[in-house]
Chain A
């Protein structure tokens, strides 16, 4: 479904990605793990067209998307839950969800999907009229995921959904991701520092260090890999 071929992305003179190649197949959960500043977020921003790559190719369902503007990429069915959640703070929970469906014109369908997201995350249902900026971190993360789902994506990109959340909330969110994958067949590309949680729900994983992929294997194999254990799982 998604394929990155030799992608290099720069921020001014700084090269954040140094020739990344990876793929995500339909129906998979794939995770990319790495330390701070390794290039994880840049990878997602490159896919979404916010930080377009300077070299290399990004293919979505076989056609190149790395030259398209961000809004075109969303319309093809790629939605992102960005780092730090990026909830619109002065909009209500409902408006935030509706913004996720900005490119859709089927108002009735959008209203139905708001209800679906509220079923998925019941806490959002209670807070529907509350401003996004007043939610707790965990609620904001759920809202960010819900907002991405409102676009009816075929590929869901998530950037560190566990960041700064309590263990219980993290488990709940990861369980929801797994449920989305199993029940709706949602393809998920997940970026995490929390390697343990991510590898537990993923089918496959990649490890990134300083803008280069260093490992790529089945998630279970990575969980047992000595280098991964030492660097990301605390021994």
Chain B
């Protein structure tokens, strides 16, 4: 029983990270029907920024949680700038082009950013400092869930609640929903649609950056390729939940994380990806729009 619980908590932790990154895919897709393949790279770049900043801070005598917070904030700012620039450079000029063009542009940006980091840094794995704090009060349950996992779960949950509030209740959130539902009408009520799209990329990048810092610290090492695999998994989570649906991305992430953890725990960790993608295929066969995806009805 303890083993099962441990696997579930581990799966939840992993799934919450997938969900965080999946939100970026799904928000962008919801508004401009584009799969932003370079989204995983933003996550990877944020992890590198956090690594560089924490190295600098450590040299200058900073310690503990202050490093984590400063590194995370700077990584988030960098990621936001990257996300904004990405949209301006690679997608906005193609706004009225056929749908395949921005998709190819997205793959191009993904390869470019990966190779840029490969050249600027190194192809090898770099050790990432353990920034997540260790709590003593966690000792009695340490065999089920570690401090780092608890921090990840709390941070991702709070972030997602914040996002839900933002989308439901703020002016920007309303503008995002209106743009998603009818872009022309959004312009006719006075919404600056270009700005909403930019801010959607910024928001998605912020979420990816939070994920990047958490995972970097949790896994203890990063390289230029981590964004690709995380991107594939998060994209899977987004499709699983129903791409374009925000609760769907969260649910998809959790389902994917749990599937992987249970498959790794009971069968073999060599097969966890097989099960992850197996679940994706199964759900796409049974529910082609994903778990919470809406059936698109074309109204005449």
- Chain A residues packing against B (C-beta within 8 Å): 48-50, 69-71, 74-75, 79-80, 82, 86, 88-91, 95, 98-100, 102-103, 147, 151
Contacts and interface: CB of A to CB of B under 8 A. Distances in A.
Contacts of A103: 189-190
Given A82-B184, A86-B182, A71 B191 contact: yes
Contacts of B184: 50, 82, 86
30 contacts: A48-B188, A49-B187, A50-B184, A70-B188, A70-B190, A71-B187, A71-B190, A71-B191, A71-B192, A74-B188, A74-B190, A75-B190, A80-B188, A82-B184, A82-B188, A86-B184, A88-B177, A89-B182, A90-B177, A91-B178, A99-B174, A99-B178, A99-B189, A100-B189, A102-B178, A102-B189, A102-B190, A147-B189, A151-B189, A151-B190
Nearest to B185: A86
Indicate the size class of the contact surface on chain B: 10 to 19
Interface in B173-200: 174-175, 177-178, 181-182, 184-185, 187-192
A88 B188 contact: no
Given A102-B171, A103-B189, 6 more contacts: A70-B190, A82-B185, A82-B188, A88-B182, A90-B177, A99-B174
A214 to B, nearest CB: 28
A50 B174 contact: no
Contacts of B185: 82, 86, 88
Contact of B187 (A50, A75, A79, A89): A50
Contacts of A49: 187
A82 B188 CA distance: 8
A100 B171 CA distance: 12
A48 B190 CA distance: 10
A90 B185 CA distance: 13
A79 B189 CA distance: 7
B269 to A, nearest CB: 41
A88 B181 CA distance: 6
A99 B186 CA distance: 8
B296 to A, nearest CB: 12
Contact of B181 (A50, A75, A89): A89
Given A69-B192, A99-B174, A91 B187 contact: no
Contacts of A74: 188-190
Most A CB contacts (10 A, CB to CB) among B171, B184, B190, B192 go to B190
B214 to A, nearest CB: 32
A95 to B, nearest CB: 7
> What 7 pairs across the A-B complex have the smallest Cβ distances?
A74-B190, A86-B185, A70-B187, A103-B190, A71-B190, A88-B181, A102-B189
A151 B191 CA distance: 12
Most A CB contacts (10 A, CB to CB) among B174, B175, B188, B192 go to B188
Interface in B120-176: 171, 174-175
A69 B192 CA distance: 8
Contacts of B192: 69, 71
A102 B191 CA distance: 7
Contacts of B175: 102
Contact of B174 (A71, A75, A98): A98
Contacts of A102: 171, 174-175, 178, 189-191
